[in-house]
Amino acid sequence: MSRIGKKPVAIPQGVTVTVGKDNVVTVKGAKGELKENIDRDITVEVKDGEVVFNRPTDQIRHRAMHGLYRALVNNMVKGVTEGFKTNMELVGVGYKASNQGNLLDLSLGYSHNIVIEIPKELKVVTAQEKGQNPTISLEGIDKQLIGQVAAKIRGLRKPEPYKGKGVKFVGEVLRRKAGKAAGK
């Protein structure tokens, strides 16, 4: 059995989990509602305040999906109760970030500013304090969507290994290289 797949997902107070036709799991909570299509081979049962996942065989494909869908539903339950948040910082001289609603305006050292439209399901907040790097904070209930948008923002100017300039996650440890002078 998959170690993750065999653990049941506990349903906290105020959260409802329903399994509809075609194996669609719907999770409703205080912060919103999320849906996920579960593969037809994996069976999902809601009983005694827990969601239990079962697989038909020990094939590699079934074992992989067993743990995957359990983790996805667990993230959905966590998202509608607590929510998820990702913080990023812009390291570099002249790098700036500002937002107007869900439009994120980034100045990353290119000849032009980059404007990104953040999905309406997410909340974006930018901060620029004196003596600190500008920060971008993404908040929402869908963990996958937050990660996807954060990766897209980071991909606009990845941190370089010599000075560490670029868009990075707060707390991310970068592998630094010695400069040209240190090589001699």
Contact 98, 146 (CB under 8 A): no
> Which residue among 31, 62, 81 closes a domain?
81
**How would you classify residue 141: left for phi > 0, otherwise alpha for psi between -120 and 50, otherwise beta?**
alpha
Does residue 178 belong to any structural domain of this protein? Answer: no
- What pLDDT sits at residue 3? 82
Q: Indicate if 162 and 140 belong to the same structural domain.
A: yes
Residue 73 shares a structural domain with residue 130: no
**Beta partners for residue 106, in sequence order:** 97, 114
Which residues of the chain fall short of a pLDDT of 70?
1-2, 182-184
Tokens matching residue 171: 């707390």
User: What pLDDT shows up at residue 182?
Assistant: 66
Give the domain-ending residue among 81, 113, 139: 81
- Rg over alpha carbons for the chain, rounded to the nearest Å, is 21
Domain range for 25 is 9-81
179 in any annotated domain: no
The answer to whether 170 and 89 have CB atoms below 8 angstroms apart is yes
Instruction: Identify whether residues 19 and 88 lie together within a single domain.
Output: no
Helix/strand/coil for 14: coil
The DSSP output letter for 172 is P
| Domains held by the chain: number | 2
Residues 44 and 21 grouped into a single domain = yes
Residue 181 domain-assigned?
A: no
Assess whether 152 and 97 both reside in one domain. yes
Q: What digits encode the pLDDT tens for the residues 61-92?
A: 998 899 999 999 999 999 999 999 999 999 99
Residue 174 lies in a domain: no
User: Residue 161 maps to which CATH number?
Assistant: 3.90.930.12
Q: How far apart are CA 27 and CA 49, in angstroms?
A: 13
